[in-house]
Amino acid sequence: MHERESYQQELEALRFDNSFTRLLPGDSGEGKQPRQVYGACYSRVAPTKVSQPSLIIHASDLASRLGLSDELCRSDAFSQLFSGNQLLPGMDPHAICYGGHQFGNWAGQLGDGRAINLGELINTNDERWMLQLKGAGLTPYSRSADGLAVLRSSVREFLCSEAMHHLGVPTTRALSLILTGEMVMRDMFYDGRAALEPGAIVCRTAPSFTRFGSLQIFASRDDTTTLKQLLDHTIIHDFPHLGEPCQQVYLEWFNEVCQSTAELVVHWMRVGFVHGVMNTDNMSLLGLTIDYGPYGWLEAFDLSWTPNTTDREFKRYSYGQQPAIAGWNLARLAESILPLIGDIEPLQEALNTYSQNYKTLWQNMMVEKLGLKSFQAETDHKLLEELQHMLTLTETDMTIFYRKLANTNAEVNLENINNNKLIEPLLDAYYQSEDIAYDLQQQMADWLRSYIQRLQQDGVNNTERKENMNRINPKYVLRNYLSQVAIDQAEAGDYNEIHRLHELLKHPYDEQPEFDSYAAKRPDWARNRAGCSMLSCSS
């Protein structure tokens, strides 16, 4: 048998069960013209064909979980399929209708403007994985845009979602990154300097891509019937442990969404991830990181840092705002399911619990970052507060700081050690480590003294503590400039850097000394370069 036929056979053996389109109401309209879609959760729409699909990279471990071999992923049949050129018999391509609050304002219907769900793959372990192409062409939800994605943003989505997965942060995943062969016009900084960029498609996967905005759209239209259908469907398929949907179950479900959202944001804070566009249409009901756009990674610790140029003025989506914005978004979700619950009180209670819960989870995470056994209110409120202050005394690289902090020797006699010696292990984390002012050194040393005293209370030995800390504080994150370097090379036809980053980010907590330079501070040239510290929504 020809190789080509055997790959095709392997693909055709994949099992699909398209519960979303089979069980939920669809759009009665046809075609791709932009329109308002009422009383329907999705519109059937086929991906637009592309001229020359070619694979740049795929995620082997995810592919094998889905039942796809590496050889198959490198075949032409795979590129044809995951660029949308050829579909499999069991697929049922569709775009989902949703709405959302963008930057705090209700924006009405948005929907999958360039994402097309191919179908729900059921793997051999009976897991359900929706396969979605991002950048697959126009849908009824494209509004005035083109339905496409460029290489730059697709590299960012592929690498970051995979990096997040390996960091242990809940996220949608990326199966493949494929060049389409087409060029796409983009005005990257909305300043009239539009240019052609290579087009690309990422196939991403998740148990489902439903968002807060998926429910909001029906509530906003007083369409309680479709609202209930979608919520019931979500509970039955994504939260089966909650049992038969009913009022009580709706509440339990909402509490679970609050819980998983709190856990998600705590992870973001832990690794220094800033989503950049936490609009309600970009919030997953499953508590996954979703829609990688103008996200960024904290380099210098700064609660007010936002990577998104559109957000520069109000900093709504800055690092330190993320927990509060997630709470605001949950409140919008609560409002949208209110018609099914009828009583605002228990929803309000759940939102209060979110805030409390977030705080506790955050404290527990922070003391783990510091290598402490558990949060002790008498000492640790102050310790954490002073830490946040200490991190802003001089430009301090958050990722490096915690890795270096793990080297702290808690077995010293604090009376016999001077400030310089105390600070020394941390110097690598400072962008200007040369001449830190005397009073700042004093403040750093004061904090380190309290920290060491606190460690001494716990009595964990240095080695064990370091191991614990290095399991929660990554050495390698997708520093903003690292993806930009990979993008620059990819745009020139060289994909090695994408592969290298993908590999090393599979083990973010390991030392990997051969990749040390990837764990270093951002170089000075990247400080103010587009793509390295400033990103727009253009993608």
Rounded Cα distance between 470 and 475, Å, is 8
Residue 112 binding target from ligand AMP, Mg ion, none, CB below 5 to 8 Å by type: ligand AMP
The phi and psi torsions of 180 (rounded to 5 degrees) equal -90, -25
Interaction between residue 147 and ligand AMP (CB under 6 A): yes
Interaction between residue 142 and ligand AMP (CB under 6 A): yes
Residue 146 binding target from Mg ion, ligand AMP, none, CB below 5 to 8 Å by type: ligand AMP
Q: How far is the CB of 291 from Mg ion (least distance, A)?
A: 4
Rounded Cα distance between 324 and 355, Å, is 8
Query: Which of 112, 232, 281, 291 is flagged as catalytic?
Result: 281
Region of 111-119, 242-250, 406-414, 496-504 interacting with ligand AMP (CB under 6 A): 111-119
Residue 34 binding target from ligand AMP, Mg ion, none, CB below 5 to 8 Å by type: none
Q: How far is the CB of 27 from ligand AMP (least distance, A)?
A: 15
Q: How far is the CB of 332 from ligand AMP (least distance, A)?
A: 15
Interaction between residue 198 and ligand AMP (CB under 6 A): no
- How many residues bind to ligand AMP according to rule CB under 6 A? 17
Looking only at residues 272 through 331 of this chain, which bind Mg ion when binding is defined by CB under 5 A?
Answer: 282, 291
Q: How far is the CB of 249 from ligand AMP (least distance, A)?
A: 29
Rounded Cα distance between 458 and 454, Å, is 7
Secondary structure of 265-328 in HEC code, one letter for each residue: HHHHHHHCEECCCCCHHHCECCCCECCCCCCEECCECCCCCCCEHHHCCCCCCCHHHHHHHHHH
Print burial letters for 160-190: b (CB count within 10 Å at least 16), e (below 16): bbbbbbbbebbbbbbbbbbbbebebebebee
Interaction between residue 114 and ligand AMP (CB under 6 A): yes
173 three-state secondary structure: strand
Among 112, 162, 197, 380, binds ligand AMP (CB under 6 A): 112
Contact 333, 284 (CB under 8 A): no
Region of 2-10, 112-120, 200-208, 242-250 interacting with ligand AMP (CB under 6 A): 112-120
The two tokens of residue 158 are 């592929």
Interaction between residue 182 and ligand AMP (CB under 6 A): no
Bridge partners for 176 per DSSP: 58, 203
Distances (CA, A) of 323 to 31, 326, 365, 450, 452: 40, 5, 14, 27, 29
Looking only at residues 289 through 328 of this chain, which bind ligand AMP when binding is defined by CB under 6 A?
Answer: 291, 293
Interaction between residue 153 and ligand AMP (CB under 6 A): no
**What is the bridge-based pairing of β-strands 173-186 and 195-206?**
antiparallel
Interaction between residue 34 and ligand AMP (CB under 6 A): no
Burial of 144 per CB tally in 10 Å (0-12, 13-18, 19+): exposed
- Closest alpha carbon to 77 in 128, 8, 126: 8
Q: How far is the CB of 149 from ligand AMP (least distance, A)?
A: 7
Among 75, 279, 318, 483, binds ligand AMP (CB under 6 A): 279
Region of 165-173, 197-205, 274-282, 358-366 interacting with ligand AMP (CB under 6 A): 274-282
CA 301 to chain centre: 19
Residue 147 binding target from ligand AMP, Mg ion, none, CB below 5 to 8 Å by type: ligand AMP
Distances (CA, A) of 101 to 18, 283, 340, 375: 28, 11, 21, 36
Contact 436, 396 (CB under 8 A): no
Interaction between residue 148 and ligand AMP (CB under 6 A): yes
Contact 248, 256 (CB under 8 A): no
Interaction between residue 157 and Mg ion (CB under 5 A): no
25 to 64: interface string for Mg ion, x by CB under 5 A: ----------------------------------------
Contact 383, 454 (CB under 8 A): yes
Closest residue to bound ligand AMP by CB: 113
Among 219, 277, 444, 519, binds ligand AMP (CB under 6 A): 277
Active site residue 76: no
Residues labelled catalytic:
281
List residues binding ligand AMP (CB under 6 A).
110-114, 141-142, 145-148, 277, 279, 282, 291, 293, 537
